[in-house]
Amino acid sequence: MMLIHRYLLCSLHLFTFNLVASLFPTIKEGRKMAEKEHGDETSTFSLDEIERIRVQELVEKTNGIPPERFIQNEFNRPISDLPVAKVPVIDLSLIESNDFEQRQQEHFRLKSASLSWGLFQVVKHGIPISLLDDVRNVTRLFFQQPPKEKQMYSSDGKVPDWNQGYGSDTILSHDQILDWNDKLYLSVYPEKAKNIDLWPPEPKSFRNLGLDDDYFIDNGAKGRIFERFTYYPHCSKPDLVLGLKPHSDASSLTIILQEDKVPGLQVYNNELGWTKVSTVPNALLVFIGDGMEIMSNGQYKSPIHRVVTNSERDRISLTTFVLPELEKELRPVDYLIDGGKPTLYKKMLVKDYEKQHLLDFTQGKIYINSMKA
C-alpha cells in the first residue's frame, strides 16, 4: 500500500512541475482491403503516403474518411452502447490528512481501487484549475500549427531508443493496423535523457523553469518521466477505427489529464467487458502500469484500455508516464514473495521489457501476459 502511495505523491509532484515547466506559457505562432460492406467508407493511399502523412493531415485530405490501414478487425471495433465505469475517486488531501481515521479510510479506498479496477481519479490534487485549462489550451495550440512547423519536432529517425518528438504511430510492419492520433512525446526526466532538439525553442520557459539541475534528485525522484501530448482528430467512421488500440501501460504509474467534455477513454473490466470512463471535472486519472503490477506480484492490476474517436469533435489529452530506470531489474518486491508465496512474474531488465512491450503493442498484443511465470 505504501509503495503505491509513495509513487503517487512523487508522480503528482513531478506531474505538476512538468505542467509548469513545459506548458504554462503559450506556444508561438499494407493492410488487406476492408470488408466489402465498408469498401466505399474508406479512402485510398499508398503505404508510403500513410507512413509519411500525419493523421491530422489525412482528415483534411479525406474529410475524415479513414484509409484502410486504420480499419480495425471486426472483433476489435468499438461499440457505442457501453456501460459507464464507476471509477473510484481518491481525495489526495485526505491521504495526507492529520486526521488518522480520515487518512486510513482514504488509504483503504486507494488500495481497494488498485486491487480491483487498477485505476482511480484523483481530486484535490493541488493543481490549479486555471493551470489545467492552460495545459489543454496550449496542447491544442501546438497541434493547430501548420504541418511544417510541427514537423520541425518530428521524431523520425532521431531517437533510436524511444519515440520522442512529434509523430503518429510507430510503424514496425506493413500490415500493422494504425491508430487514429498524432502525438508529441517528450522525455522530461532525467535531464540526460532529453532530446532537446525536439523541444520547441520558444518560449524559453518551455525548456527550462530556472531550477537547479539536481532539483529532482534532491527531492527524491527516481526513474524516468515521459510526457505524451495526444491529438485525436474526429473521424467520420468512428465505428471502424480506434484512437488508441487496446493496451496496458509499460509504466509504473500513468497519470492522464483529459478533456471533460469529449469522452473517448474506455477500460476493460473482467466482469463488464469494455466500459466508458467518465471522470469528475478536472480530476487526474491514474492507471496502475505493468511495472507496478509486476512489483506487487499481481496484487495491483494494470488495466487494459483504449481510446475511441468522435465523429464530430477532436480530442486531446496529456499523459505522464512514470517508469523505472532502464537498467533496473523488473521483478516482484521481495517481501511479497517471502513465506512460500509463488512468484507470478518472470524477471527482466526494464529496457528489455519496454522494447518487447512496444513490439507487442504494434501487433495488438498485451505483453505482460507473456511475463507470467
Residue 354 has pLDDT above 90, yes or no: yes
What would the mean pLDDT of 38-57 be, rounded to a whole number? 63
DSSP conformational letter for 243: S
Could you read off the pLDDT of 248-290 as tens digits, one per residue?
999 999 999 998 888 899 999 988 999 999 888 999 999 999 9
**Is a pLDDT exceeding 90 seen at residue 42?**
no
pTM: 0.82
Domain of residue 364, CATH code: 2.60.120.330
H, E, C per residue of 295-317: HCCCCCCCCCEEECCCCCCCEEE
Contact 371, 294 (CB under 8 A): yes
pLDDT digits (tens, 9 = 90+) for 227-239: 899 999 999 999 9
C-alpha cell at 342: 509463488
Q: How do beta strands 273-277 and 253-258 pair?
A: unpaired
What is the pLDDT at residue 23? 43
C-alpha 76/C-alpha 61 separation (Å) is 26
How confident is the model over 6-14, as a mean pLDDT? 55
pLDDT at 216: 31
Domain count across the chain = 1
Structural domain includes residue 115: no
Rounded Cα distance, 119 and 256, in Å: 11
Asked if 190 and 213 touch (Cβ cutoff 8 Å), the reply is no
Cell numbers given for 35? 470488408
CB burial of 302-313 (b: ≥16 within 10 Å; e: otherwise) equals bbbbbbbbbeee
Provide the domain limits for residue 260: 2-29+128-371
Minimum mean pLDDT among 8-12, 78-82, 112-116, 163-167: which range?
8-12
Q: Quick one: 361 exposed, middle or buried, by C-beta within 10 A (0-12, 13-18, 19+)?
A: buried
The model's pLDDT over 184-222, given as tens digits with 9 standing for 90+, comes to 888 877 666 655 455 444 433 334 333 344 433 333 346
- H helices of 144-246, in order, are 147-151, 215-218
In a domain, 116, yes or no: no
In a domain, 319, yes or no: yes
In a domain? residue 109? no
Give me the pLDDT at residue 12, please: 57
**What pLDDT score was predicted for residue 349?**
96
In a domain, 287, yes or no: yes
> For the chain, what percent of residues have pLDDT higher than 90?
39
Q: What is the pLDDT of residue 204?
A: 39
- Per the model's pLDDT, the better-predicted residue between 25 and 138 turns out to be 138
60 domain-assigned: no
Q: CA 241 → CA 33, 43, 85, 153, 307, distances in Å?
A: 14, 13, 22, 26, 10
Mean pLDDT of all residues in the chain?
79
Nearest alpha carbon to residue 319 among 19, 25, 17, 21: 19
Per-residue pLDDT at 196: 47
Residue type, 236: S
* Residue appearing with cell numbers 492490476: 301
189 lies in a domain? yes
Question: pLDDT value at position 267?
Answer: 96
Q: Report if residue 80 sits inside a domain.
A: no
